[in-house]
Amino acid sequence: MVPASDKKELNEFVKIVSHDLSAPVRHIKSFHKMLMKDIALTDQQLELKGRVDGAITKLEMQLAAILALSRVDTNAPQIRQCNATQMVKDIIAKFTEDSVDSGESFVSSGDDIELFTDKSRLHDAYYEVLSNAYKFHPEGVVAKVSVTLEMIEGTLILRVFDQGIGIDERFLQDIYLPFRYLNHQKKYAGLGMGLTYCQKLLHSIEGTIAVRSNGDQGCIFTLEVPHKKTMIMPNN
């Protein structure tokens, strides 16, 4: 296990590097835009320009993701009361509002399940898992996602059942590695950081995440978070 002091130094280093790299990337983006202004480009040159634009955007997103990871450890959780049931409903609505038939179902063991935890971190962790559930499904097939939420002996348990493309059992632990992308990036855009971020958020509030393959029927994700029972107000 990494000592707390070393972990803090590493997180501070990552934060500084992310900030220091962000400035030159912004300069490259700005100068590139200035150089391309009012220049007539051939089709081949336009294609190359598009690749440069895409590379710059991806680098910006990677730096932002690294910085977000470092903030999880450098900032203490802020424990407040939150309504987990409404939170899940709101997140699902974001992915289904434009779909006539999302194939989605949500079952909660209570009308309103509330707990004390870091609301922002719980929301972002849930968002990442549900985002993947709706994202990774065969082309031309409606995403079918089922979600259950229940409180059992002081532990909030969210289960997400999808009928997507699934994950090879050999790589079930690899999905939490930074920038580990198991699928074709042109078909399923992303950085491969969503579940890394999700796991780190959950660990920061003493939660866990587990996944198991459901054969050719997709995956089942289980997220568990303890109900803290006390509120810690943020420092002013």
Mean residue pLDDT of the chain comes to 78
Joined tokens for residue 14: 């990552």
Are residues 147 and 35 located together in one domain of the fold? no
**Within a domain: residue 165?**
yes
Are residues 123 and 195 located together in one domain of the fold? yes
Provide DSSP, 120-182. HHHHHHHHHHHHHHHHSS-TTS---EEEEEEEETTEEEEEEEE-SS---GGGTTGGGSTT---
Tally the domains of the chain: 2
Q: What whole-number distance in Å separates Cα of residue 236 and Cα of residue 231? A: 15
The continuous run of DSSP H or E covering 34 comes out as helix 4-36
Of the residues 15, 43, 74, the one at which a domain ends: 74
The continuous run of DSSP H or E covering 223 comes out as strand 219-226
Are residues 27 and 42 located together in one domain of the fold? yes
Are residues 45 and 11 located together in one domain of the fold? yes
Q: What pLDDT was estimated at residue 95?
A: 84
Q: What pLDDT was estimated at residue 141?
A: 67
Q: What pLDDT was estimated at residue 27?
A: 80
Greatest alpha-carbon pair distance for the chain in Å reads 66
Polymer length in residues for the chain: 236
- Rounded to 10 degrees, the C-alpha dihedral 114/116/117/118 comes to 90
Q: What pLDDT was estimated at residue 2?
A: 43
Are residues 30 and 70 located together in one domain of the fold? yes
**Within a domain: residue 233?**
no
Which residues fall within 8 angstroms of residue 5, CB to CB, at 6 or more apart? none
Q: What pLDDT was estimated at residue 52?
A: 87
Q: Give a three-class secondary structure readout of 94-135.
A: HHHCCCCCCCCEEEECCCCCEEEEEHHHHHHHHHHHHHHHHH
Domain with 8, as residue range(s), is 4-74
Are residues 153 and 193 located together in one domain of the fold? yes
- What tens digit of pLDDT does each residue of 143-191 get? 688 899 999 999 999 999 987 766 666 666 777 676 566 554 445 455 5
**Within a domain: residue 234?**
no
- The SS3 of residue 3 is coil
- What tens digit of pLDDT does each residue of 114-129 get? 999 999 999 999 999 9
The verdict on pTM exceeding 0.75 is no
Q: Which residues of the chain have pLDDT under 70?
A: 1-15, 17-19, 98-104, 138-143, 165-172, 176, 178-192, 215-216, 229-236
Of the residues 74, 90, 110, the one at which a domain ends: 74
Q: What pLDDT was estimated at residue 236?
A: 42
Which residues fall within 8 angstroms of residue 79, CB to CB, at 6 or more apart? 116, 117, 118, 228, 230, 231, 232
Which residues fall within 8 angstroms of residue 28, CB to CB, at 6 or more apart? 56
**Within a domain: residue 40?**
yes
Place of tokens 């089922």: 146
Using CA atoms, how far residue 213 sits from 3, 119, 131, 177, 179, in Å, is 34, 29, 17, 18, 21
- The SS3 of residue 221 is strand
